[in-house]
Amino acid sequence: MPRQAKTARRKRWAYSAGARGVNRVRAFAHAKTGALYLEWKAPDAEGIVRTVREPLTDCSQDEATAAADRKAVAIRAAGASAPRGPLTLGMLFDMYLREANPDRTTVKHNERATALFYGCWGRERNVVTLSPSDIKHYIRERRAGRIVRLDKKGMPVAGKPVRDRVLEEDLTFLRTVIRWATREKKDGNGRWLLDSDPVGAFDIPREKDVRRPMLPVGEVERMLEKALVVDRRVWLALTLCHETGRRLNSVRMLRWSDLDLTAQTIRWVGERQKNGETSVTPMTAALVAALKQERRARAVISDGWLFPSSRSEEPIHRKVFYNGWAAVRTACGLELIGAAFHTQRRSMASDFSTAPLAVVAEIGGWKHPEVALKVYQQPNLEQQRSVLGQREFYKKRA
């Protein structure tokens, strides 16, 4: 017997007044009885927001509409005059990290900075009592390494002295959170979380002598030779970073299917990149040879991670590469520097300082080309002499 078609649901009357999340009130007719009701949300005695429903007896739809309008006006008026409890640092940062933290690459830093703010000012500190002197106190204590924070397990972690670059990241995050509370986030009564910025404009320390080291070509060649002996994975990662100029994490997240050894191209999948963009870049002959050598050594016949982990389905952790970098540097007898694989990103940008900036940005995966120009390119003396030699004055003297 064929199934009978469902009867269309009868549309019931409804009307809404007020703003959603602030003073929204809904008047509606019950689907079965046709009785009219008002419905809105309000906190109970324990502060839990619940739905309140009030029946309207002997009332027409026009009268129910007017009742909803009056109720919405009353809720807004009550909210505007109701006293508001203190907004603590814990409440503010919990809301921001839960609702607004935009970039997954900054989550760990923001959580660590939040714990440091708690360690300096206290989790229960009222946000509106912060002042410029509190910012200066944080700068002094953080710079000297005297702030103790709690980790996720509640264990104290001693601080260590930091440079102005770290302070810049911490205080930029603080300013972002405060502006979010004054311009983007409202409470249940439709008011901004903060009526104004409690600390106002404050000076954020800027690194005057930024350390952006690069490895000379000769040292890179030595490290590649030693890496083959110390850890083949580090050798391949260093080769990729050197030949592509990409970040270590982008290299670490490559799959064999991203590598076209015939066309000699690499596909960088957007969801695995810091800039979130998918792009295809060419390979150098040296990189193609290294990948073919690695494929033969592993006897790879199917797709998979270029750097597979034996413990999980994800690639191996980045700490493996950094530990390997230190071991290789020690084997080369070279002084350790903190930048590790990022030195190759700077070298690539600097080597191509005379190339079109858009091309350099596409090869290296910079979303904003000016970053490659202002932060990564470091023209050496030979490049500077070459430019100076092009002046007509020097041509005549030669």
Question: Among 85-99, 147-161, 176-190, whose mean pLDDT is lowest?
Answer: 176-190
Cα–Cα distance, 328 to 237 (Å, whole number): 13
The reported pLDDT for the residue numbered 216 is 74
CA dihedral 322, 326, 329, 333 (to 10 degrees): 180
Q: Give the ranges where 35-158 is alpha helix by DSSP (H).
A: 61-81, 89-99, 107-121, 132-144
Lowest mean pLDDT among 4-18, 53-67, 210-224, 308-322: 4-18
| Helices 107-121 + 89-99 axis angle, to 10 | 180
- Cβ-proximal residues to 168 (8 Å cutoff; 6+ apart), any chain: 204, 205, 206, 207
The strands making up 14-17's β-sheet, listed across from edge to edge, are: 14-17, 25-29, 36-43, 49-56
Average pLDDT over residues 219-223: 87
User: pLDDT band at residue 63, thresholds of 50, 70 and 90?
Assistant: very high
pLDDT at 121 over 90: yes
| Per-residue pLDDT band at 100 (split at 50, 70, 90) | confident
- Kindly tell me if the per-residue pLDDT of 224 is higher than 80: yes
pLDDT at position 317 over 60: yes
DSSP state of 6: P
Categorize the per-residue pLDDT at 136 as very low, low, confident or very high, splitting at 50, 70 and 90.
Answer: very high
DSSP label at residue 58: S
Radius of gyration of the chain (CA): 30
Residue 396 has pLDDT above 70, yes or no: no
Range 194-223 average pLDDT: 81
Q: What pLDDT, in 10s, does the model give residues 36-48?
A: 999 998 776 655 6
pLDDT of residue 56: 93
pLDDT band at 171 (very low <50, low <70, confident <90, very high): very high
Do the beta carbons of residue 75 and residue 18 sit within 8 Å?
A: yes
Q: What sign has the CA pseudo-torsion 10, 11, 13, 14?
A: positive
pLDDT at 1: 45
pLDDT band at 397 (very low <50, low <70, confident <90, very high): low
Evaluate if residue 336 carries a pLDDT over 70. Answer: no
Residue bearing tokens 């990290």: 97
| Secondary structure class of 53 (helix, strand, coil) | strand
> What is the percentage of the chain residues whose pLDDT exceeds 90?
47
| Rounded distance between C-alpha atoms, residue 366 and residue 375, angstroms | 11
What 8-state DSSP symbol labels residue 172?
H
Q: What is the pLDDT averaged over residues 301-308?
A: 87
Summarize the confidence of residues 361-365 as an average pLDDT.
92
Which of the 8 DSSP states describes residue 33?
T
Minimum mean pLDDT among 157-161, 285-289, 390-394: which range?
390-394
Q: pTM for this structure?
A: 0.61
**What is the enclosing helix (H) or strand (E) of 36?**
strand 36-43
**Closest to 210 (Cα-Cα) out of 114, 104, 346:** 346
- pLDDT reported for residue 276: 86
